[in-house]
Amino acid sequence: MSVSLHRKRPLHRHKAVTTHVLSQHAGIPYEIERTLCSDCRRVLGERPLRRAAA
């Protein structure tokens, strides 16, 4: 039995774009640095920066 791997989209290299967003964890607002691919909008990484003012 043969397995064929068909992709709907061609492979690409991710183009990282860094954005800063506000998010909440356990009700506490945090500023988050989020790295996204500009083509497919996939989240490549996230890290909390600091607590945001309420």
Between CA 48 and CA 33 the distance in angstroms is 6
Between CA 50 and CA 33 the distance in angstroms is 10
Domain count, the chain: 1
Considering the domain boundaries, does residue 9 fall inside one? no
Does the reported pTM lie above 0.85? no
pLDDT in tens, the chain (54 residues): 556 666 676 778 889 999 999 988 888 888 999 999 988 889 999 998 887 776
Considering the domain boundaries, does residue 38 fall inside one? yes
Q: State residue 54's pLDDT score.
A: 61
Domain holding 32, by residue range, is 16-51
